[in-house]
Amino acid sequence: MRNLVFLTGAALIMAAPASAQDVMAAPPAADTTMPAEPAMPPADMSAPGAPAAAADAAAPAAPAADVQAQWAQYDKDSKGYLTPLEFGSWLLARQGQDMTATVEKSRTGKQANLPAIKVLNATAAEFSKADTDKNYQISPQEFADYQTM
């Protein structure tokens, strides 16, 4: 019986690594996961080593020009501010529901100006967010700030 225990103990010792160093030196198991995606090249490949500051400086000019163009289109009387109806017309047009022609048609007609009321009701909450100084007018700065929200 003692020989059997001795042989069993010897077999366990031989099967186990001699020290923790042997465990660390063992090669890692093969990785079966997919290889990582290759790194994407930088977006600006114009000139190697050229500063990207020139491209970054031109970027804010485009949104500012867009804001100016939109402002000119919706500030109908060149008052320097947008009324709630003008802002609402801009907002709905931006969402793909341009009601400008319908509102203008109802202004000149004899029927009630229901399209304008619908525009005001649909955009009242957004107008309140955009009108930060609460004077019921959207200034050019408020208009630009709203577009960056």
Domain residue ranges of the chain, discontinuous segments joined by +:
76-147
Predicted local confidence at residue 3, as pLDDT: 53
What is the tens place of the pLDDT at every residue in 32-88? 555 555 555 454 444 444 444 444 444 445 567 777 888 888 888 889 999 999 999
Q: Does residue 124 surpass a pLDDT of 70?
A: yes
Give mean pLDDT, residues 81-103: 90
Let me know how long the chain is: 149
Architecture of domain 76-147 in this structure: Orthogonal Bundle (1.10)
Task: Name the least confident of 14-28, 43-57, 96-110, 121-135.
Answer: 43-57
Distances in whole angstroms, Cα of residue 128 to Cα of each of 70, 106, 113: 19, 25, 22
Distance CA 86, CA 82 (A): 6
Say what the pTM is. 0.55
Residue 60 is encoded by which pair of tokens?
Answer: 């804010």
